[in-house]
Every structure is written in C-alpha cells, then in structure tokens.
Amino acid sequence: GIQWATPSGWKPEGSRPMRAATYAIPAARGDKEAGECGVYYFGPGQGGGVAANVTRWVGQFEQPGGKSSAEAAQVRKRTIGGVTVTTIDVSGTYLFSPTPMSPDKIPKPDYRLLGAIVEAPQGLVFFKFTGPAKTVAANAGAFQEMLRSLRK
C-alpha cells in the first residue's frame, strides 16, 4: 500500500524471507562493515504493534555503563505522504542476531539504527537501517529522503 524511492548509492539486493526489500549501503571511510536497510512487511495486522517493535529494536542495543537504551533512543511520530510514521534513532553496541529469532547475539560496538514504522493502508511496514555509526551517519540524509518519498 506504499511506495518509496531508493536512495542514490544504495544497492537493492531484492527481497528475502520476511523482507519486501533489502539495500546494501557502502561503508563510510574508516568503517570495516557496510550498512544494511531491510524493509519488512508481514501482512495486515501482522508483525506486532508500533510500540512493541520500538521496544524490541531499542532492546537490541546496549549502552556504556549499563545505561538505558530506552532513554538514549530518540523516537518521533509524524505524518509523511499521508501516512503516520514512527521513527527511531539509537546507537551503542548492537546485539546482532545472525539468523531471525536466534538466541545467539554478536556484539557490534559503535553501531547505530535508524528505523521507521509506517502505518500503511494494508498494515505496518518496517524500515530498519543498521550499520557502523559512521556509515549510518553518512547516510542519515539518504534515509530521511527515502522516508520523505513515501506515498500511498
């Protein structure tokens, strides 16, 4: 029920299980890993609610000194292209899951997540951009442009 424009320089990798799209984002100078943006759509009423997903995404990060990731995260709600969008920005040590639902977590320090949960006409659509902090910072504008391009 929505469309968006792919940011320039982001390489579409096609769909994967549980994903409508996947983009590879080149690593910024000094970063050893590239970033990735997955776009997920599970169907009407599927995938959990907005608040539950924000909580889950924030919970995938740890902060120095045991601080709360919930307090460190920036969460906003706004309207873009006629749909409600909740955005999240959180940094720290990312507890990467090598496979969906895996209990194994690989800590990735100095990572960042930019996310958006779009309340589309046919159900929630999840945009999750993760990567080394420099790579995500270098592409934050492109991520925002992609969100501004959202249309029903």
Q: Classify residue 73 as exposed, middle or buried by CB count within 10 Å of its CB (0-12, 13-18, 19+).
A: buried
User: Band of the pLDDT at 105, cuts 50, 70, 90?
Assistant: very high
Q: Within 10 A of 116 (CB to CB), how many other CB atoms are there?
A: 24
Q: How many whole angstroms separate alpha carbon 81 and alpha carbon 83?
A: 6
pTM of the entire predicted model: 0.95
**What does the pLDDT read at residue 103?**
85
Helix (H, G, I), strand (E, B) or coil at 65: helix
Owner of token pair 């919970």: 59
**Residue 92's pLDDT band (boundaries 50, 70, 90)?**
very high
What is the pLDDT at residue 17? 78
List residues bridging with 83 in a β-sheet. Answer: 80
Q: Who contacts 68 (Cβ-Cβ below 8 Å, separation ≥6)?
A: none
Q: Where are the alpha helices (DSSP H) in the chain?
A: 50-58, 69-72, 133-148
**DSSP secondary structure string for all residues of 72-107:** H-EEEEEEETTEEEEEEEEEEEEEE-SSTT-S--EE
- Which is more confident, 14 or 85? 85
Instruction: Quote the mean pLDDT of the chain.
Output: 95
